Amino acid sequence: MTGKAIITGRPLRLIRILYEKSTPITTYTWRIKQDELAAQLKISRQALNVHLRKLREQGCIRTGRGFIDITEEGLNLLGISTNPAFVFLKISPLKREEAYQEILQFPLQRIFRVAGDMDVILVMEREKLDEALKKLAGVEGVLDTRTYIAIQTLK
């Protein structure tokens, strides 16, 4: 059997309740085993665990089997805003593919191709907005940009 499993009944009800009652947050996840990370840092696994425990206790990270999440508290510690910037782009139809390929190299959190007055929505950290706008100025085919900065997450 191929494809996605069909979930019904209580498991489906559970996931719906979890979704409806949850609060969206910004998290960065790195899928890496702790022994691999310790090797990259050139420290022992035990030393790494001491540091990870401290960060967990402060609410800066979450860890699990094969992953480490940086939480909003951790991002704030780094001076990274969790309220993103959005850049809406209008791109010439004749230059779309080339522009998309160039834009994919930017420091983005997400990129969406959309239908409507604009063609693309870029989502990025506010701190990287100036860098991205300077790079966008050099992308052939970008006809118009509109920039919005989130000031508060409401839900």
CATH assignment at residue 114: 3.30.70.920
Same domain, 57 and 102: no
- Residue 145: pLDDT band (50, 70, 90) is very high
Same domain, 98 and 56: no
Q: Is residue 8 a part of any domain in this protein?
A: no
Same domain, 89 and 128: yes
- Residue 76: pLDDT band (50, 70, 90) is confident
Same domain, 97 and 137: yes
The whole domain housing 47 covers 25-77
Same domain, 73 and 97: no
Q: Which residue among 77, 93, 113 closes a domain?
A: 77
Q: Is residue 9 a part of any domain in this protein?
A: no
Q: Is residue 53 a part of any domain in this protein?
A: yes
pLDDT tens digits, residue range 87-116?
999 999 999 999 999 999 998 889 999 999
Q: Which residue among 61, 77, 93 closes a domain?
A: 77
Q: List the CATH number of the domain containing 60.
A: 1.10.10.10
What residue type is 117 in one-letter code? D
Residues 6+ apart with CB under 8 A from 35: 45
pLDDT value of residue 4: 76
Same domain, 143 and 119: yes
Same domain, 102 and 142: yes
Q: Is residue 5 a part of any domain in this protein?
A: no
Reported as type and span, the H/E element at residue 28 is strand 28-30
Same domain, 129 and 93: yes
Provide mean pLDDT across the span 132-140: 94
As a 3-state breakdown, the chain gives helix, strand, coil percent values, each rounded to 5, of 40, 25, 35
Say how many domains are in the chain: 2
Residues β-bridged to residue 89: 120, 145
Provide mean pLDDT across the span 128-140: 93
Strand arrangement, sheet containing 28-30:
28-30, 67-70, 61-64
Same domain, 47 and 67: yes
Q: Which residue among 59, 77, 95 closes a domain?
A: 77
By DSSP bridging, strand 85-91 and strand 67-70 are unpaired
pLDDT value of residue 8: 86
